[in-house]
Amino acid sequence: GTAKNCITIGAVNSDNDTMTSFSSWGPTDDGRLHPDMVAPGCEVGGVGRVTSTGQGSDMAYATMCGTSMASPTAAGLGALFVQDYRARFPGEGEPTNAMVKAVFAHTAVDLFEPGPDYKSGYGSVRIDRAIDQLRSGNLAYGSVDQGQVRRFRVGVPAGASELKVTVAWDDVPGTPNTIPSLVNDLDLRLIDPDGVVHYPWRLDPQNPSSPATRDGPNRVDNIEQVFVENPAPGEWVAEVVGHEVPQGPQAFSIVGSPDLAASGVRLLQTLELPAHVSPAEATAIPIRLAAFGDDLVPGSAQLRYRTGSGSFQSVPLERADGDMYRGVLPGLGCEGVVEYYFITEGEVSGVVTYPVGGAADPLSADIGEWVEIFYDDFDTDRGWTVGAPSDTATSGVWTRMVSEPTPAQPGTPIVGEKIWVTDGRKGLFTGTYAVSDGATTLFSPVFDLADHEGAEISYWRWYSNNRGFPSDDVFEIDISFDAGQTWTNAETLGPTGPGSQGGWFFTNWSVADIGTPTGSVQLRFVAADFGSPSIVEAALDAFLIREFVCEATTPCPADFNGDGVVDADDFFGFLTAFANGDPRADFNGDGVIDADDFFAFLAAFAQGC
């Protein structure tokens, strides 16, 4: 394909890395490099094709040629790379597409003239070299906006034969049928110890067979590589420049060898952020702040927050342990949602925010807390009943019990020991005690939700209907607002499709999305086997009704640090904020920090809470 962000793969012969006759060559219409790299798609010797799994059985193999063989090969190598990335960087999510592309291009074997070409891209992929690069740790993420520069240190030992740095980014969508397709243009360049600038490879689409040159910036591709033979020993600097970034900031991935280290400041999310915060109590929000070869501008590390559409307020980040910091949100009352972001500034790297969009793309959390209305793990009898007048099932009737595992029914509960299940006995064969000859109905207790407009119902459900003749059967979950006089469907599973082939599935929905909560809310769960016989099993566990509420407390303005106590810490905290011009010191909210704020705080402090 010619898309700019995908990894386009050409085909070479697996036994000697020669180009196949059927692999397409670049450039694209706007001069971009494609393919990005090549992978095995055929073979010169041997059977003359590559071997892969075939159709018909789990043991079938087939031999074929084509870029349709090369692309799956590269995809499989990508899966191996992702697996190793997860093991090396647990908790940091998946590698970006740009990171995979950068590493694969960086470690590919150059096949023809030095540098990339329109036949083989950056060369033939090598997963062993890609994994070695990953494990070396010489890779990083970054972002730049218009005119910004991110710097990375590259150490070169004496006698090194080469120096290579590769950067790639997933560019934003361009306008269809427009040349060029590149929107955000980043520049990669290396600066040697003597201050000489080294530029990336670039190709001439007007002369596609000409070798790549390194005589200026690349204005076409969203993958760039600077390569230097026999580099001078010492510390080099790799710069990623936001040359033209109309839709920034633009994230990128960078890879270097022999040694790459970020020079600058990074804000990283390594711990889970809160989905909601207390309206009355302070909430600490964690962030990792790491500086490499750079110094923080004093006082620049802040958490900025706001409720509504007002201006952002700031609180300083507090060091928790090592490079872990926290920003403490004060109790904000019942203001709906709080938006926030982290910001700091490096002496060299400049302003850095997390998320990268800062105030334009902040994080958010609901203000309030979930309050449990009813919860049942089914280990004790909480008033559920079985049997409707229309039920005719002769087996598989709903039972609260410890279920025995079969291919159709669960053996492991979500919580506790017992579940509601359509007769969880194992029997002599699968389906011995499955639902047969009609329906069986499980009824919940009647719930008073009249004062709970935001009530949410959740549960774990199991439904198996993929054996025998399943075309007639469904699993219905209904809700009543009048204690069972009338019913409205909440969800239906089956006869086929997601959630109808066994396995525990979590589901949750708002009562108000179906009807107005009343004092007589009830649920029923109807499993049935009608018509042609099939093996139907259903189960239910961990039933919960809850509501997200915000209960405002009487504000205490003098509790400046939000710890619930008015004491000397609040007094000196305010004095520090006042002396530093911290926006929080605008105590009377008139937009000016002056003596009026000082005396207003003193009055509130004397009054206490």
Q: What was the pLDDT predicted at 471?
A: 63
pLDDT at residue 52 in the model: 75
How high is the pLDDT of residue 469? 66
Write out the residue limits of the CATH 2.60.40.10 domain(s) in the chain: 266-368
DSSP-derived secondary structure letter, 565: -
b vs e for 430-442, b when ≥16 Cβ sit within 10 Å of the residue's Cβ? bbebbbbeebbbb
Q: Looking at the chain, which residues constitute the CATH 2.60.120.260 domain(s)?
A: 373-549
In this structure, what token pair is assigned to residue 277?
Answer: 């915060």
* 297-301-306 Cα angle (round to 5): 135
81's enclosing H/E stretch is helix 67-88
Compute the distance between CA of residue 245 and CA of residue 184 in angstroms, rounded to an integer: 4
* Class in CATH terms, 266-368: mainly beta
* List of the chain residues with pLDDT < 70: 262-264, 292-293, 348-349, 468-471, 552-555, 562, 564, 583, 589-591, 609
CATH class of domain segment(s) 9-258: mainly beta
**What is the reported pLDDT for 555?**
58
For residue 376, the Cα-to-chain-centroid distance in whole angstroms is 32
Res 552: pLDDT? 63
Residue 374 half-sphere exposure toward CB, CA atoms < 13 A = 20
Tokens of 42: 């055929």
Range list for CATH 2.60.120.380 in the chain: 9-258
Give residue 433's identity as a one-letter amino acid code: Y
Nearest to 25 by CA among 115, 105, 119, 111: 119
Q: Quick one: tokens of 439?
A: 């329906």
Among 594, 586, 601, 598, which Cα is nearest to 312's? 586
Domain 373-549 sits in CATH at 2.60.120.260
